[in-house]
């Protein structure tokens, strides 16, 4: 038997004020995207904003549906928009935030498993890592240099060959 270990590295900031201006602006855009979220069931509003390699900014928000699990997460709304409006243009950085109407939003939350898989697939498709900025409406912020870090045992097209 061989024992192995996986480590990920990420940066932790105490507040948005510690971020570079471009990162802080992108996170604020993700905050604003929570306003266009449709979350009448969970009251958990998620917004995402990304800067693309062509300089354009794209946003997405979660969209719930009474017929669960028909809803879609903010990250996948953003990826669908980016790939439709700006095909084959890599995402440089994506900021993800949330507003919890039923509680606090004072810590970073990671993308769900389905979004992690989709982010890694998008990175693979465009051969470019997506830097992630994760933060609530206040509190600490995590900056991760690629979605692959969040899903080290990725299932990919290579596994189907």
Catalytic residues: 75
If you count them, how many residues does the chain have?
161
Dihedrals phi, psi of 91, to nearest 5 degrees = -90, 125
Q: Give me 3's structure tokens.
A: 């024992």
CA distances from 65 to 37, 59, 72, 139 (A): 12, 20, 9, 30
Which positions ≥6 away from 21 have C-beta within 8 Å? none
């Amino acid at each position: 038997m061989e024992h192995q270990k996986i480590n990920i590295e990420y940066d932790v900031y105490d507040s948005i004020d510690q971020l570079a201006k471009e990162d802080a602006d992108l996170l604020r855009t993700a905050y604003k995207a929570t306003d266009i979220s449709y979350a009448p069931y969970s009251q958990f509003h998620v917004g995402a904003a990304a800067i693309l390699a062509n300089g354009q900014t794209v946003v997405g928000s979660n969209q719930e549906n009474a017929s669960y699990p028909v809803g879609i997460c903010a990250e996948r709304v953003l990826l669908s928009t980016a790939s439709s409006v700006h095909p084959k243009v890599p995402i440089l950085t994506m900021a993800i935030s949330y507003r919890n109407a039923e509680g606090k939003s004072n810590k970073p939350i990671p993308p769900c498993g389905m979004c992690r898989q989709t982010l890694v697939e998008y990175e693979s498709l465009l051969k470019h890592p997506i830097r992630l900025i994760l933060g609530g409406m206040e509190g600490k912020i995590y900056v991760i240099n690629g979605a692959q870090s969040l899903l080290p045992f990725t299932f990919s097209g290579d596994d189907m060959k």
